[in-house]
Amino acid sequence: MRYAVVFLVALLTACSEIGPYIQLDDNATPADTVAVDTTQSRVVLLEIFTGASCPNCPKGRQIADNLMGTYAGRLQVVEIHQGPLAHPAQQGDPDLRTTDGDELAAYLGPPPYWPVGAVDRRAYQTSPGVWQTLVDRNLWSSLVAAAVDSPLKVALGAQASFDEASRKLKVDVGVRFLRSVEEALHLTVMLVEDSIVAAQLDGVTLITDYVHHDVLRDILTPFSGTPVTGNRQAGTSWYWSVADYVLPPDWNARHCRVVVLVARSGGSYEVLQSHQIKLLP
């Protein structure tokens, strides 16, 4: 996790009562720059633990692609390269593993095998008396179908500002409470890169020009998220920002996006809503 300046701002009431704001290098606050669409639909998050040297992982990706076609705009996927099969499948390829990915695997799992996925980070009863957050790929379709129309308690908005010369990134996030939420919540902000060409083992075949999608590159908050403060009552808003994050030179900014999620913390990791924005048009 690499970032320079993080700050939190809470809107305490629906009457736009704004908490303390840490001034950066302009006069705009997140409340000025982030639009939160309160009519947005529920967006389900599918996090897949995968690896370039995992022979069964392309089968999981195909399921994810089919689901994204079925639930266009209602499902987003993050692939987390992690575990003993996540090393590059071919010498010279980029290493897609991250420390954040390892920590996230321990937080939600650990994974019993690969690929395995979390659907909105809910715990599901996979057999009598057995509850799992990381579930087999054969369950993803039914679980996504059940989650996509679940009630929406929070709406999310985000604004990214990326300077191509300095490669500095600033992200503002807004959380709007559509219903009152009593339990503790955490905000997680990820950086994901698409269209990375690197070898992938598919069964016994090595595909040297495989295109990896939705790859976790970094988590800008702590891997478990940062606490959402304030009273969390219906009609209130809360804001978070990070500035001066420098994108590594080997990442393609035009293929990168920010993935935002708000989830329960403590006893349950259930994601209430997720959202994404591109770094560049």
Question: pLDDT tens across 188-203, in order?
Answer: 999 999 999 999 999 9
Going by C-alpha positions, the residue among 198, 175, 181 that lies closest to residue 262 is 175
pLDDT exceeding 70 applies to what percent of the chain? Answer: 90
Which whole number is the average pLDDT over 214-224? 98
Burial class (CB in 10 A: 0-12, 13-18, 19+), 185: buried
Q: How far is the CA of 225 from the CAs of 49, 66, 102, 126, 172, in angstroms?
A: 18, 29, 15, 26, 15
CA distance 256 to 188: 16
| pLDDT, the chain, mean | 91
Alpha helices by DSSP H, the chain: 30-33, 57-70, 99-108, 140-147
CA distance 227 to 80: 23
Burial class (CB in 10 A: 0-12, 13-18, 19+), 17: exposed
CA distance 185 to 273: 11
Per-residue pLDDT tens for 76-98? 999 999 999 999 999 999 999 99
Q: Are 135 and 123 in contact (CB under 8 A)?
A: no
Which whole number is the average pLDDT over 105-115? 97
Look at the block and give the residue holding tokens 């996030």: 173
Look at the block and give the residue holding tokens 């579930």: 135
What is the pLDDT, as a whole number, of residue 9? Answer: 42
Going by C-alpha positions, the residue among 268, 253, 106 that lies closest to residue 194 is 253
Q: Nearest 5 degrees, angle CA 20-CA 23-CA 29?
A: 75
Q: Are 206 and 187 in contact (CB under 8 A)?
A: no
What is the pLDDT, as a whole number, of residue 33? Answer: 78
For residue 186, give the DSSP letter. E
Per-residue pLDDT tens for 13-72? 333 333 222 333 455 678 777 999 999 999 999 999 999 999 999 999 999 999 999 999
Task: State yes or no: pLDDT of 12 exceeds 50.
Answer: no
Task: State yes or no: pLDDT of 148 exceeds 70.
Answer: yes
All residues at 6 or more sequence positions from 277 whose CB lies less than 8 Å from its CB, including other chains: 158, 159, 160, 257, 258, 260
Per-residue pLDDT tens for 231-251? 899 999 999 999 999 999 999
What is the pLDDT, as a whole number, of residue 90? Answer: 97
CA distance 50 to 55: 10
Domains of the chain: residue spans and CATH: 5-278 (2.60.40.10)
Q: Are 246 and 167 in contact (CB under 8 A)?
A: yes
Task: Give the pLDDT band of residue 266 (cuts 50, 70, 90).
Answer: confident
Give the Cβ contact number of residue 166 at 10 Å.
10
Q: Are 50 and 115 in contact (CB under 8 A)?
A: yes
CA distance 61 to 115: 9
All residues at 6 or more sequence positions from 87 whose CB lies less than 8 Å from its CB, including other chains: 51, 52, 53, 95, 97
CA distance 30 to 241: 7
Total number of residues shown for the chain: 281
